């Protein structure tokens, strides 16, 4: 695995270029261009706040913000996993012709979405101020939570990317799976809405404590539960190692299978 | 120690076998999977059998043979795109493969932007690319087109840009797969000169071709592959001669 990480480091320029290409190419040719990166979350915010303050009036105070602080990191997670599933198969012409550490492809998907998430904060923070949510010192916990989330996103993206090469149906199954996962994670609803007797199942979901942590620093203005995040980090580090080993093991025949 | 360094083989292939799984003409459906559960549904196809090859530093090796003889497979195994079924391959030094020109070019980006993209895919750092940028631009002979999006290029221009990047990366070992027929005659001539320059600089080159003339002109050693086996292996002139006779006889 050390060798694997070293190779990825040697190809960091490729990784950087792929991320830059993805970010710039996505909106190329459109009139607003790169500004779409900001307009997308802004429009999403406008729609949600209109729907939930005028049409469907939810009891939760400031529901649009309650939702928005959780939805943005969820999108980072879900989009990465879904795009990551196709990342190797889509780049088959590159894989068949050139040697490079194959990990670069799913990793570039994760980093692209990470950057997109970070850029959406330029919409989120002003929105929180406008909706009069108190921003507190707890915001400095953000990088830590982001790293924990990225461990989860990266390891799952590695696993689905390599699995999809051998089992193409996965790409299509993932759409439904991620939707189910979305509803099983307290993004739309607060975590205390989960019935007590189902709690232990929900606790197995690694996305729950991450979403909760974001909500607590952005929305509630409180520090996240450090002990929970600590345990989660240990578990996720194990998952990262497993995913790299599995990826390394199966990537050898990738060029023949796609 | 110094002596050992100069005599070292930069590529060493021992007892290499490569088997491909040949699937039936269509993908296997769930129904068939259940019906033929546990029974073998693929048969192996040996693309390479018992290949042994040592490439001394600074030499040029030609791999010659007809279509489907396993030349490209061997090249891909050396460059780690494919992995051997049996046997081992050892490579010492930085390796660059010219299997495809313009890999990863994005049509909407300019020629200059694509140089950075393409060279980074070949494993180069930003600093190395910047140092070479002017040489690459000059070599490609694209004039003002270098700052136009690649989608406006003719296929010849596209190839020229790809080749310019590929030959300016500075590997110890260069693998070339039948890409010497790029562009017009003048440009081909330039490419050959470039390869001869690299030979003079002491680079090791492995060249795949089906033209015996290229083997005679460029190579020191040649391997004639036939149905995955090394039919003849030795000095380039000898192998090229034998291959020519075989072709005209067949």
ipTM of the complex, rounded to two decimals: 0.82
CA distance A109 to chain B (A): 15
pLDDT(B157) > 60: yes
- The label of the residue with tokens 């009069």 reads A132
Kindly state whether A16 is in contact with chain B, defined as any CB-CB distance less than 8 angstroms.
Answer: yes
Kindly state whether B192 is in contact with chain A, defined as any CB-CB distance less than 8 angstroms.
Answer: no
Give the three-state DSSP class for B12.
Answer: strand
* CATH domain B2-249 topology: Rossmann fold (3.40.50)
Provide φ and ψ at B219, rounded to 5°.
Answer: -100, 155
Q: Which residues contact A78 (CB under 8 A, 6 or more apart)?
A: A178, A181, A182
Do A256 and B97 make contact, defined as CB atoms within 8 angstroms?
no
Query: Quick one: DSSP state of residue A198?
Result: G
Helix boundaries (H) for A11-141: 12-26, 36-50, 63-90, 92-97, 104-130
pLDDT band at B26; cut points 50, 70, 90? low
Which one of A4-8, A144-148, A170-174 scores highest in mean pLDDT? A144-148
Kindly state whether A88 is in contact with chain B, defined as any CB-CB distance less than 8 angstroms.
Answer: no
- The label of the residue with tokens 């979305």 reads A182
- The label of the residue with tokens 């994670």 reads A185
Work out whether strand B86-91 and strand B9-22 pair parallel, antiparallel, or are unpaired: antiparallel
Distances, alpha carbon B188 to alpha carbons A161, B139, B161, B169, B193, in Å: 40, 12, 13, 18, 9
Domain boundaries, chain A: 2-257
Q: Which residues contact A140 (CB under 8 A, 6 or more apart)?
A: none
Which residue in chain A is spatially nearest to B125 when comparing CA positions?
A13
A50, A72, A76: which is closest to A63 by C-alpha? Answer: A50
pLDDT(B6) > 60: no
Do A17 and B117 make contact, defined as CB atoms within 8 angstroms?
yes
- d(CA B160, CA B144) in angstroms, rounded, equals 14
Do B108 and A25 make contact, defined as CB atoms within 8 angstroms?
yes
- d(CA B243, CA A153) in angstroms, rounded, equals 55
pTM of this prediction?
0.88
Tell me what the pLDDT averaged over chain B comes to: 84
Six token digits for residue A125: 């923070």
Q: Which residues of B236-250 are buried (b: 16+ CB within 10 A; e: fewer)?
A: beebbebbeeeeeee
Kindly state whether A17 is in contact with chain B, defined as any CB-CB distance less than 8 angstroms.
Answer: yes
Kindly state whether B46 is in contact with chain A, defined as any CB-CB distance less than 8 angstroms.
Answer: no
On whether the CB atoms of residues A224 and A145 are closer than 8 A, the answer is: yes
CA torsion, ordered A60, A61, A64, A70, to nearest 10 deg:
-70
Kindly state whether A258 is in contact with chain B, defined as any CB-CB distance less than 8 angstroms.
Answer: no
Please report the pLDDT score of residue B7 as a whole number: 56
Query: Quick one: DSSP state of residue B178?
Result: S
- The label of the residue with tokens 């596209």 reads B158
- d(CA B210, CA B223) in angstroms, rounded, equals 11
Do A98 and B125 make contact, defined as CB atoms within 8 angstroms?
no
Work out whether strand B173-177 and strand B204-209 pair parallel, antiparallel, or are unpaired: parallel
- The label of the residue with tokens 């993908």 reads B27
A27, A72, A32: which is closest to A48 by C-alpha? Answer: A72
- d(CA A163, CA B170) in angstroms, rounded, equals 35
- d(CA B163, CA B193) in angstroms, rounded, equals 13
On whether the CB atoms of residues B48 and B16 are closer than 8 A, the answer is: yes
On whether the CB atoms of residues A163 and A170 are closer than 8 A, the answer is: yes
pLDDT tens per residue, range B97-116: 777 777 778 888 899 999 99
> A112-126, A150-164, B169-183: lowest mean pLDDT where?
B169-183
On whether the CB atoms of residues A212 and A225 are closer than 8 A, the answer is: yes
Q: Which residues contact B28 (CB under 8 A, 6 or more apart)?
A: B36, B41
Residue A239 backbone zone (phi > 0: left; psi -120 to 50: alpha; other: beta): alpha
Query: Quick one: DSSP state of residue A205?
Result: -
pLDDT band at B187; cut points 50, 70, 90? confident
pLDDT tens per residue, range A35-58: 888 888 888 888 888 888 788 777
Which residue in chain B is spatially nearest to A7 when comparing CA positions?
B123
Residues of B in contact with A25 (CB under 8 A): 106, 108-109
**CA end-to-end distance (rounded Å), chain A:** 24
**Sign of the torsion angle spanned by Cα atoms B121, A97, A248, A161:** positive
Identify the residue with better confidence: A28 or B36.
Answer: A28
Partners of B16 in the β-ladder: B51
pLDDT band at B41; cut points 50, 70, 90? low
* Residue A254 Cα to chain centre, angstroms: 25
Burial of B143 (0-12, 13-18, 19+ CB in 10 A): exposed
Please report the pLDDT score of residue B1 as a whole number: 40
Please report the pLDDT score of residue B17 as a whole number: 93
Please report the pLDDT score of residue B180 as a whole number: 64
Please report the pLDDT score of residue B179 as a whole number: 65
- d(CA B29, CA B11) in angstroms, rounded, equals 42
């Amino acid at each position: 695995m050390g060798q694997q990480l070293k190779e990825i480091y040697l190809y960091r320029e490729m990784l950087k270029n792929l991320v830059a290409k993805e970010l710039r190419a996505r909106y190329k040719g459109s009139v607003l261009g790169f500004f779409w990166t900001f307009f997308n979350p802004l429009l999403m915010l406008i729609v949600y706040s209109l729907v939930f303050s005028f049409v469907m009036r939810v009891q939760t105070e400031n529901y649009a913000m309650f939702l928005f602080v959780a939805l943005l990191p969820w999108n980072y997670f879900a989009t990465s996993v879904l795009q990551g599933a196709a990342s190797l198969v889509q780049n088959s012409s590159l894989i068949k012709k050139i040697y490079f550490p194959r990990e670069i492809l799913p990793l570039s998907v994760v980093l692209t979405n990470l950057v997109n998430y970070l850029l959406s904060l330029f919409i989120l923070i002003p929105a929180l101020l406008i909706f009069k949510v108190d921003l507190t010192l707890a915001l400095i916990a953000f990088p830590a939570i982001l790293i924990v989330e990225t461990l989860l996103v990266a390891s799952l993206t590695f696993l689905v990317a390599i699995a999809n090469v051998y089992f193409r149906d996965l790409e299509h199954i993932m759409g439904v799976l991620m939707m189910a996962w979305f509803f099983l994670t307290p993004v739309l609803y607060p975590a205390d809405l989960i019935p007590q007797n189902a709690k232990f199942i929900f606790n197995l979901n690694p996305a729950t404590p991450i979403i909760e942590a974001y909500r607590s620093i952005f929305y509630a203005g409180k520090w996240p539960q450090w002990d929970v995040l600590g345990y989660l980090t240990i578990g996720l580090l194990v998952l990262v190692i497993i995913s790299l080993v599995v990826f390394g093991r199966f990537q050898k025949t990738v060029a023949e299978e796609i | 120690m110094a002596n050992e360094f100069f005599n070292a083989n930069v590529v060493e292939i021992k007892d290499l076998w490569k088997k491909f799984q040949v699937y039936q003409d269509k993908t296997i459906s769930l129904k068939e999977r259940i019906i033929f559960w546990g029974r073998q549904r693929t048969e192996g196809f040996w693309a390479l059998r018992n290949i042994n090859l040592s490439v001394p530093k600074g030499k040029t090796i030609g791999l010659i043979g007809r279509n489907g003889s396993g030349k490209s497979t061997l090249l891909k195994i050396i460059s780690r795109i494919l992995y051997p079924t049996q046997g081992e391959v050892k490579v010492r030094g930085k390796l660059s493969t010219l299997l495809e020109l313009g890999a990863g070019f994005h049509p909407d980006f300019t020629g200059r932007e694509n140089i950075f993209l393409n060279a980074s895919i070949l494993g180069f750092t930003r600093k190395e690319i910047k140092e070479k940028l002017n040489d690459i631009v000059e070599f490609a002979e694209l004039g003002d087109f270098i700052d136009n999006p690649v989608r406006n290029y003719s296929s010849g221009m596209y190839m020229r840009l790809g080749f310019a990047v590929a030959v300016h990366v500075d590997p110890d070992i260069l693998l070339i797969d039948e890409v010497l027929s790029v562009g017009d005659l003048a440009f081909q001539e330039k490419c050959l000169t470039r390869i001869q320059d690299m030979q003079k600089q002491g680079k090791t080159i492995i060249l795949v071709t089906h033209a015996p003339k290229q083997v005679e002109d460029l190579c020191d050693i040649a391997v004639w592959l036939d149905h995955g086996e090394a039919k003849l292996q030795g000095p380039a002139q000898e192998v090229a001669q034998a291959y020519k006779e075989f072709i005209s006889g067949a």
